[in-house]
Chains A and B, each alone.
Chain A
């Protein structure tokens, strides 16, 4: 099965930081979509993930994600 854009988007993030937990909603792979990625920062009292859309990982930027996507 050929890789879809969203597959490349997620794989690119994982290349930059393996095992990083995050949530992506929808199938857009633009810079705007990157700004909406939900980065897990912890869990609440019932075990639901807590997120921030401000990327806390300095090694993950849209420029780097785009570059990795282009390699796939």
Chain B
């Protein structure tokens, strides 16, 4: 019969316990750390490829199997010219670990994040809106620093078409939370 060294009724729960080994079966779902990043520095993209905005956040996980919960909110400006009847923007999250880049959530086409259509032929229309992205990164598999960056793409850069992140120096923010397994 295995020797039972301690039972719950034999432990003073008011005491402080400093474990030097590994405790399993506890702590799952705990928010181990939270990082908040923000920028008021605008970034304007006139091209259709994804480009780094100025919103970036970094976190160093304590475990390879933890999950990183990511939330982004950005104040975005869209300029619709009269050359086309529509305009749009795409958004995505780029993850960097040790210099290696990967794409997490991504709009497949640079209009699926935000799309405006106007067939009235009015030129140079401006739109401003707040967009939000959520993502759970469970594939990082590292305890090295991870950098997440918000990227934007413009559907139509013709004429003066463009998309702007952190428009007019309004805050773009990112929250990262490490959730333990």
Contacts and interface: CB of A to CB of B under 8 A. Distances in A.
Contacts of B54: 25
Contacts, number: 70
Nearest to B169: A27
Interface in B37-84: 41-52, 54
Contacts of B169: 27
Going nearest first, the 4 A-B pairs with the smallest beta carbon separation are A21-B47, A49-B49, A24-B44, A49-B51
Contacts of B102: 46
Interface of A: 1, 6-7, 10-11, 14, 18-27, 38, 40, 43-44, 46-49, 51
Given A10-B162, A23-B45, 7 more contacts: A1-B126, A10-B44, A19-B157, A24-B43, A26-B41, A48-B101, A51-B51
A12 to B, nearest CB: 10
B87 interface: no
28 contacts: A6-B44, A7-B160, A10-B44, A10-B160, A14-B160, A18-B159, A20-B46, A21-B45, A21-B46, A21-B47, A21-B49, A22-B47, A23-B43, A23-B45, A24-B43, A24-B44, A25-B41, A25-B54, A27-B168, A38-B51, A40-B49, A43-B49, A46-B101, A46-B102, A47-B49, A48-B101, A49-B45, A51-B51
Given A6-B44, A10-B160, A22-B46, A48 B52 contact: yes
Interface residues of B, number: 26
A20 B154 CA distance: 12
B43 to A, nearest CB: 5
A38 to B, nearest CB: 8
Given A23-B44, A23-B45, A48 B157 contact: no
Contacts of B168: 27
B91 to A, nearest CB: 13
A48 B151 contact: yes
A17 to B, nearest CB: 11
B150 interface: no
Given A21-B47, A25-B43, A48 B158 contact: no
Contact of B159 (A14, A21, A38, A46): A14
Contacts of A20: 46, 157
A39 B158 CA distance: 15
A51 B45 CA distance: 12
